[in-house]
Chains A and B, each alone.
Chain A
Amino acid sequence: MNIVELLIPELILLAGSVACAIVGVSTRRSMRDALPAVAIAALGAAIAWTLCCGDTLAEAAPMPALSKWVTVVGCGLGMLLVLLNAGTADRDYEAAVAAGRTKFDPLRTTRGEFYVFMLLSIGGLLLAAKARDLIWLFLALELTSLPTYVMVAMSRREQRAQEASMKYFFLGAMSAAMFLYGFALLYGATGTVELAAMHEVFTAQQGDVGMIALVGMLLAILGIAFKLAAVPMHLYAADVYEGAASSVTAFLGFVPKAAGAIAVMGLLWTMGMHADGWLLPPMVEVMLWVMAVLTMTLGNVAALLQSSAKRMLGWSSVAHSGYILIGVIAGPDHGGWAAVLVYLLGYGLSNTGAFAALAALRRGGNEVESLEDLSGLAERHRGAAWTLAISSGSLLGFPPLLGFWGKLLLFIAGVSSGHIVLVVIAGLNSAISAAYYLKLVALPLMGASTARSREVEPLSVQWPRIAGLIAAAAVILLPIGLPAIAACAAAVLVN
C-alpha cells in the first residue's frame, strides 16, 4: 500500500491549515469569521475519508486499525475543540477593528495561525497512532506539542499566558530530549528503529531484556509522561493550564495526552507482547504502577486544595492520566487498551464540556476562575451551569454518564489483569475526587449566588456554549451505544 495514501487524513488537515493561514489574513471580516468553519470542514473531511475509503495500515505498525479510531475520535473531538476556540484568538483585536478604533493589519493578526496550529497539532496526534518507527513517533509527538506552545501564548494577551508558554516550551524541550535519549538507547540495544523489528528482537530475547533496552524504555516512557502530565513530569501542568485561556486548556488536556497515551502503548507493545500473552518486564511494570499511583493521588490531592475551578480541573486532569495508566498496564489482553481508548473518549468529551462552561463565561473582562464565581450559576446561566455539572459528574465517574463507563472498563481491565491493589487505590482516589468534583456539580446548581457570581456575564461569542452543550449531550447519550463503542475499541486492537 502506498504510504501517501495512508497519510491522506493528515494531508487533508495540512491543506486545511494552509487554507486557514490564507483565509486568516483576509481583510474581510466575514472571511476571517469563517475560519472555524474551514478548520471544521478540514477535520470533517479527514473523518469522512477515513470512514469511507480509509484503509488500515496493513503492515509494520503495532495496531493497524488503531489509526482509524484515533482519526475519527481525534478529529471529532477536534471539531468540538475548534468550535470551543472560535473567538479565542484575537478577540479583543477583532472587537477593536469592528469598532473602528484601529485598522486591520494582516501582519498583526494571529487569528488564522491559531487554527493552523490546532489542525497541525491534531495532525500530530493522528500521526502518532500510525507510527511504525521511533523517528516517526518522535516527529509525531513533537508535531503534537510544538503548536500547542504557541497556542498557549496566543490564547490571551496577558503576561501570564506568555510566561506559561515559555515554561511549557522549555520543559517540553527537556522532556523531548529525555525520550529521544530513551529512543537512542532503544536503537542501540536493538539495532533498529522500526517498532515491528524491535518487537521481533525483544521476542527473540524471550523476556530476558537487556539493561540498555530497559533503561531506554524507562526514559522514553518518562519523557512521554510529559505529554500525559504524569508524575514526575507533571510539574508544568498547573501553571500552564492556568496560564492558557480555558478553551486552550481544554485542548491541552486532551490532544497531547491522547498522543502520549497512544505513543506509550505503541512502545510497550514492542516489549510486552509475547506469543503467550501480555507480559511487561518487571521493571517497566513497577515503574508504570508507581507512576499511576503517584499521578492519581497527587493530582487528586492537589485538586482538592484548589480554590480556583480552573486549577482544580487542571490538577484533576493530572489524576486522569493516573487512571489511564491502569489500562496501559493491564495491556491489550485484558481489554486494558480498549478501555484506555474508551476512557480517552469519555475524558476528552467531559473535559471539553467542563472547560467550555468556564470559557463561555466572563467576569469583568476576565476569565471565570474561582469557585465563588460559579456559585448559584444556574439562576442566570442555566446552560453553562448544567454543562459544568454534567461534565464534572462524568469526570467523577457518576453513572450512567460516559465517564463512569470508561472508568468501569478500566477498573475491570485492572482487576482481570490481576492489579487489584492498583484498582483499589484508584477507587479510593475516585472517592477523593468526588470531594471536589461534587463541588463543581453542587455549587452552580444549588449554591446561593454571591456578589461575584452575579457579575458573571456570557461571552459575546455563542460557539463555546454550544460546544459545551454538545459535549454534555454526548456524555449523556453515548452510553446508549456503549456496547458498540466498546466492541469497536476492542476490535481496533486486534492484529
Chain B
Amino acid sequence: MSLLSMLSSSVLTAAPVPVADVHQAFDMGWAGLILWLPLLSLIACGCCAMMRCTSKLPAWITVGSLAGSFVTAMFLYLNYEPPGDVVNIVRWIDLSWVGGGFEANISFYIDSLSLLWILFVTGLGTLIAFYASEYMETDLGSGYCRFFAGVSVFLFAMSALVLADNLVLLYLGWEGVGFASYWLIGYYYTKPEAVAAAKKAFIVNRIGDLGLALAVYLCWTSFGTVQYDELVTVIESGDYARMTDDWSVAAIPWLLMLAAFGKSAQLPLYVWLPDAMEGPTPVSALIHAATMVTAGIYLLARMYPVFLLDGDHTALHVVAWVGGLTALLAATIGMAQYDIKRIMAYSTVSQLGYMFMGLGVLTTYGAAYHVFTHAFFKAALFLTCGAVMHGFAGQLDLRKLSGLRHMKGWKITSYAMLIGCLCLAGFPFTSGYFSKDAILAEAFVTHGPGFQWLGFMALFTAGLTAYYTFRVWFRVCAGPVSYEAGDDHHGDDHGHDDGHFHPHAPRFAMNSVMAIIAIGALVAAVPYFMDSGVKGGWIADMVNDSTASEGIPAVRAAADHAADHAHGSLFGYDPHVAMYWVSGGVGFIGIAIAAWLHLFRREDAVSLRRALLSRSATAWLPRAMERKWYVDEIYHALIRAPLWVGSHVLHGIDRILVDMVLVDGTAKLPRLLGRWVQPLTNGTVHASATAMAGGVALLVIVVLLILHLGVFA
C-alpha cells in the first residue's frame, strides 16, 4: 500500500480555506530583512561599481546578504504557526481618505505556501550566488558588480512577489523579477543575440503582465480588496455576487492564466525562455529554472480560490491541457537540440508544463512538490552545464564533448549532473519520481475533459524526458574522452597560447555548490515521507495551510466527491499504485533508448537520423523538431510580420495625415483663424472687450443648444 494511495483514500474533514483568520503580527518587523538585505546588497554593489572595485567584494556582499535573507526566512519558518501571519513592514498605499478604501501595504503574508517558496528561493539564491562568484570571475570589475547587483535586484523582487500580502505588491515583484531577468539575460550586452533575447523575454512577458494588471484591477472592482486574507473572506462569504457583474469575476482566472503563462513560459508564450539562455549560466539556473519561472505556479496556487469559484472548473481544465501540451511540445523539441543548455531550457518549459498540469488536475500539492524538487535538480543540471561551458570556453554542443567523467577534476560535475538527470528522468525513488507521479496519477483520477488522454500524453512525455535527459549525460559525461573547445575567448587563461586547449576544471566554489545542490536534489525526496499531520508529508502540510489547500487530493476528496474519486483507473488498477510501475517502466525505456543511441552505439543515432531524413514521408519529423516546430517562424509570420507591415502603414499615415495634415495644418489653423479674427484680438482694449462680450453670447448660445439637443446626459 503506497503512501499515495493512502493519500487519496484517507478522509479528512472538509475545512474552509484557512486564510480568513490569519492574525496580524506586529512584533515581526524583522521579517522585513528578507526584503531589505538584497536591497542593501544592490546599493553596496552599486557603490563597488562606483569605486571601481576589481576584487570579489560584490560577490561576498551578495552571498552574505542572501544568506542573511535565508536565515531570516528560516526563523520565520520556525516561528510559523498555522494559519499564518500578516506582518506589516511599511505602510505603502493607503487611499482610505478618498473613499473606496483602497489599501496596499508592504506587508508579508506568511503562510506555508509563501514560506515554502521563500525558503527555496533564498536558499538556492545564496548557493548560486556563491557559485557565480567563481563562474563570473573572468569579468571582475564593473561587469562583476553589474551581475551581482542584478542578482540582488532579482532576489529583492522575488521576495516581494512571494511574500506580498496583496496583489499590488505581488505585481511590483512580478515586474521587478521581469526587469531583473531582462537585466541579466542582456548581461553580455555586446552580443547581439543576448540583447535580442533580453528584448524578447521582456516583450513576451509584457503580454502576460497585461493580464496580471487587468486581473488585479478586476479583483479590486469585483471583490473590493486586493489583500489575500480579505479576498478569501469575501469569496467565501459570497458577498461579491451582489456587488458586481458576473463576467468580471469569471474573467479573473483567465487573466491570471495569461500572466502565469507568460512568466512561467507556457504555450503560447514560452518562446522567450529558450532564448533566455544567452544570459550567464548561474542566471539561467536561478532565474530561468529554479525560481522566477515558478512564479506563475505560485500565482495560480495563491489565487486558487478564484479558480474554484466556477463549479465546472473550466479554467482549470484549460490550465491542465495547456500544461500537458506544453510539456509534450517542449520535450519533443528538447530531444532534437544539440546545445545542452537549450535542452535544459526546453526541459524546464516541459517540467513547468507538468506543474501547470498538476494545478489543472486539482493537485496543488503535486504542483508545489514538483516546483520544489525541480528547483533543486534543474539548478544542479544548469550549474553542471555552466561548469562545462566555463571549462571548455563556451562549448555546449553535445556532439563535441564526451567522457567527462573520466577526466581529472570533472568527477563532481559529472555525478552531480547524473543525479540531476536521474531526478529529471523520474528514476525510481529519486525526488523527481515522487513529485512527477503525484501529478501523473492525479491526471488519471480527476474528472475532466479527456483527462485520461492527458494522462497518457504526460506519461509519453515522461518517456521522452528520460530519453533526452540521458542523451545529454551519456554523450557529455560517459563514453570515450574527447572534446573540442568552444569559441569563447573572453578569458586569457584558457591556454590558447601554446596551441593546445586545456579545459580548466571547476574549483572549490563551483564544486561545493554543485555537490550541495545535487545532494539537495536527492534529499528533496525525503519531505515526501515526513508525515507531519497531513498525509502526503511535509510538502502537503505546507500547501494545506494556504489558499491552495483545496488542491490537496485528500482534502478535496473529502470535500466534494469522495465517492467519485476512485473512478479513474489505469489498466484496471488504482492509478496511484499503477503509476509507480508504469512511470518507472517508461523512464527505464527512455533511458535504455538513450543508452543505445548515445552511449553504446552512437553511430546508430546518426544512421537513424539519416534514415529518417532520406524518406520524404518521415523527413519532416527530425527537421521540424530541430527547427522547434517552426514556432518562432509562425509567430514571425502571424504576429511580427503583420505588426511590421501595420507599423509601416501607420508610420506612413502618421507622416502624411498626422504630421502634414493634422499637425502642420493645426499649426496653421490658429494663424489662419488669427488672421480672420485679427480685428478682434489686435491687442487693443475695445477689440478684447468686444471679443469677450461676443464670447459670452456665443457661450450662452452653445449652452442653450446643448440643452436643446439633449446631448448632455
Q: Which residues of A contact B (CB under 8 A)?
A: 166-167, 170-171, 174-175, 178, 218, 222, 231-233, 235-236, 239, 282-283, 285-287, 289-291, 294, 301-302, 305, 335, 409, 412, 416, 483, 486-487, 490
Given contacts A287-B699, A290-B706, A416-B99, contact A167 B712 (CB under 8 A): no
Query: Given A290-B706, A335-B98, A412-B98 in contact, is the A170-B691 Cβ separation under 8 Å?
Result: no
Which of the listed residues B667, B685, B707, B712 has the most CB atoms from chain A within 10 Å of its own CB? B685
Counting CB contacts under 8 A, is B606 at the interface? no
Q: Are A167 and B695 in contact (CB under 8 A)?
A: no
The answer to whether A282 and B707 touch across the interface, beta carbons within 8 angstroms, is yes
State which residues 477-532 of B face A: CB under 8 Å: none
The reply to whether B689 and A171 form a contact with Cβ atoms under 8 Å apart is yes
Closest to A236 in B: B688
Query: Would you call B692 and A287 a contact (CB within 8 A)?
Result: no
Q: At the interface, yes or no: B681 with Cβ under 8 Å from chain A?
A: yes
Does B90 sit at the interface, judged by CB under 8 A? no
Closest residue of chain B to A168 (Cβ to Cβ) is: B685
CB-defined contacts of B94 to chain A, threshold 8 Å: 483
Known: A167-B683, A239-B683, A335-B98. 15 other contacts (CB 8 A): A171-B689, A174-B692, A231-B695, A232-B695, A232-B699, A233-B695, A235-B681, A235-B691, A282-B707, A283-B707, A286-B707, A287-B700, A290-B699, A290-B703, A294-B699
User: Is B662 an interface position by the 8 A CB rule?
Assistant: no
For chain B, residues 673 to 689, give those with C-beta under 8 angstroms from any C-beta of chain A. 681, 683, 685, 688-689
A222 touches B688 (CB 8 A): no
Contact between chains at A235 and B688 (CB < 8 Å)? yes
**Smallest CB-CB separation from A222: which chain B residue?**
B696
Residues of B within 8 A of A416 (CB): 99
Q: Mark B690-713, 1 if CB is under 8 A from A, else 0.
A: 011111101110111011000010
Q: Which residues of B contact A286 (CB under 8 A)?
A: 703, 706-707, 712
Residues of A within 8 A of B99 (CB): 335, 416
Query: Does the CB pair A233–B692 fall under 8 Å?
Result: yes
Q: A287 CA to B670 CA in the complex, in Å?
A: 24
B97 interface contact, C-beta 8 A: yes
Establish whether residues B712 and A235, one from each chain, have CB atoms under 8 Å apart when the complex forms.
no
Q: Which residues of B contact A283 (CB under 8 A)?
A: 703-704, 707
A167 cross-chain contacts in B, Cβ below 8 A = 683, 685, 688
Which residues of chain A have C-beta atoms less than 8 A from B693's C-beta? 174
Q: Which of B130-189 contact A (CB under 8 A)?
A: none
Whether A178 contacts B685 in the complex (CB less than 8 A), given A282-B712, A283-B703, A290-B706, comes out as no
* A490–B685 alpha-carbon span in the complex (Å): 41
Cβ of B681: which chain A residues have Cβ within 8 Å of it? 235
Chain A residues, Cβ within 8 Å of B694 = 232
Q: Which of B98, B685, B700 contacts A171 (CB 8 A)?
A: B685
A232-B696, A290-B703 are contacts. A170–B689 as well, Cβ < 8 Å?
yes
Q: Taking the nearest CB of chain B, how far is it from the CB of A170, in angstroms? A: 5
Question: Once the chains bind, are B696 and A178 in contact (CB under 8 Å)?
Answer: yes
Asked whether A170 lies within 8 Å of B699 as measured between CB atoms, the reply is no
Q: 8 interchain pairs (CB within 8 A)? A: A175-B692, A232-B695, A232-B699, A233-B692, A286-B706, A286-B712, A290-B706, A486-B97
A167 to B97, CA, bound (A): 45
Residues of B within 8 A of A166 (CB): 685
A294 to B681, CA, bound (A): 18
Please name all residues of chain B whose beta carbon is closer than 8 Å to the beta carbon of A222 when the two chains form the complex.
Answer: 696, 699
Contact surface of B with A, Cβ cutoff 8 Å: 94, 97-99, 667, 670, 681, 683, 685, 688-689, 691-696, 698-700, 702-704, 706-707, 712
Residues of A within 8 A of B699 (CB): 222, 231-232, 287, 290-291, 294
Min CB distance A17 to B, Å, is 29
Q: How distant is the Cα of A178 from the Cα of B692 in the complex, in angstroms?
A: 11
Enumerate chain B residues within 8 angstroms of A305, measured Cβ to Cβ.
Answer: 667, 670
- How many whole Å from A233's CB to the nearest CB in chain B? 6
Q: How far apart sit A289 and B713, CA to CA, in the bound complex (Å)?
A: 12
**Within the complex, what minimum Cβ distance (angstroms) separates B593 from chain A?**
60
- How distant is the Cα of A412 from the Cα of B2 in the complex, in angstroms? 60
- In the complex, the chain A residue whose C-beta lies closest to that of B666 is A301
Q: Which residue in chain B gives the minimum CB-CB distance to A486?
A: B97
* Nearest opposing residue in chain B for A418, CB measure: B713
Residues of B within 8 A of A490 (CB): 97
**Bound Cα distance from A412 to B95, whole angstroms:** 11
List 6 A-B pairs, minimum CB-CB distance, nearest first: A232-B695, A287-B703, A235-B688, A170-B685, A286-B703, A167-B685
* Alpha-carbon gap, A174 to B703, bound state (A): 22
- Residues of chain B contacted by A486 (CB below 8 angstroms): 97-98
What chain B residues lie within 8 Å of A178 (beta carbons)? 696
Is the pair A235, B692 in contact by a Cβ cutoff of 8 Å? Answer: yes
Instruction: Select from chain B the residue with minimum beta-carbon distance to A225.
Output: B696
Closest A residue to B695 by beta carbon equals A232
Q: Which residues in A have their C-beta under 8 angstroms from that of B692? A: 171, 174-175, 232-233, 235
Give the docked Cα–Cα distance between A423 and B210 (Å).
Answer: 24
A236 neighbours in B (Cβ, 8 Å): 688
Residues of A within 8 A of B667 (CB): 305
Find chain B residues with CB under 8 A from A239 CB.
683
Whether B670 pairs with A232 at a CB distance below 8 angstroms is: no
**Smallest distance from the beta carbon of B709 to chain A beta carbons, Å?**
11
- Of B681, B693, B700, chain A has the most CB atoms within 10 Å of the CB of B700
B703 engages A171 (CB within 8 Å): no
The distance in angstroms between the C-alpha atoms of A174 and B698, with both chains bound, is: 17
Identity of the chain A residue whose Cβ is nearest the Cβ of B98 in the assembled complex: A412
> Closest residue to B702 on the A side, CB-wise?
A290
A218 lies within 8 A of B700 (CB):
yes
Q: In the complex, what residues of B have CB within 8 A of residue A235's CB?
A: 681, 688, 691-692, 695
Cα separation A291 to B698 with both chains bound (whole Å): 11
A282 vs B708: C-alpha distance when bound (angstroms): 11
Q: Find chain B residues with CB under 8 A from A171 CB.
A: 685, 688-689, 692
* Whole-angstrom CA separation of A17 from B190 in the bound complex: 69
A75 to B670: give the CA distance in the assembly, Å. 40
Q: Cα distance A218–B701 when bound, in Å?
A: 12
Is the pair A409, B98 in contact by a Cβ cutoff of 8 Å? Answer: yes
Q: Is the CB of B691 within 8 A of A174?
A: no
A412 to B99 alpha-carbon distance, docked (Å): 10
Task: Please report the C-alpha to C-alpha distance between residue A331 and residue B685 in the assembled complex, in whole angstroms.
Answer: 35
A302 cross-chain contacts in B, Cβ below 8 A: 670
Cα(A294)–Cα(B694), bound, Å: 15
Point out the residues of chain B lying under 8 angstroms from A287, CB to CB. Answer: 699-700, 703
Chain B proximity of A135: nearest CB distance (Å): 23
Q: With A and B bound together, what is the CA distance between A222 and B99 in angstroms?
A: 33
C-alpha spacing A389/B702, complex, angstroms: 39
| Minimum C-beta distance from A167 to chain B (A) | 5
Shortest beta-carbon distance from A70 to chain B in Å: 21
**Across the interface, which residues of A come within 8 angstroms of B98, CB to CB?**
335, 409, 412, 486
Tell me the complex Cα distance, A113–B691, Å. Answer: 33
Contacts of B689 in A (CB 8 A): 170-171, 174
Q: Which chain B residues lie closer than 8 Å to A290 at the CB level?
A: 699, 702-703, 706
Given contacts A287-B703, A409-B98, A412-B98, contact A232 B698 (CB under 8 A): yes
* Complex CA distance for A204 and B689, rounded to whole angstroms: 38
Selected contact of A289 from candidates B685, B696, B712, CB within 8 Å: B712
B663 to chain A, nearest CB (A): 11
Docked pose: A301 CA to B685 CA in angstroms: 23
Cα distance A231–B700 in the bound complex, in angstroms: 12
B685 contacts across to A, CB distance below 8 A: 166-167, 170-171
Closest chain A residue to B94 by CB distance? Answer: A483
Measured between beta carbons, the chain B residues less than 8 angstroms from A170 are 685, 689
**How many Å lie between the Cα of A171 and that of B688 in the bound state?**
8
Residues in A with CB closer than 8 Å to B691 are: 232, 235
CB nearest to A282 among chain B residues: B707
Minimum CB–CB distance for A237 against chain B, Å:
10
- Compute how far the CA of A416 lies from the CA of B681 in the bound complex, rounded to whole angstroms: 39
CA gap between A451 and B700 in the complex, in Å: 50
In the complex, what's the smallest C-beta–C-beta distance from B283 to chain A, in angstroms?
32
What residues of A have a CB within 8 angstroms of the CB of B670 in the complex? 301-302, 305
Query: How far is it, in angstroms, between the C-alpha of A305 and the C-alpha of B712 when the chains are bound?
Result: 31
Least CB distance from B147 to A in Å reads: 30
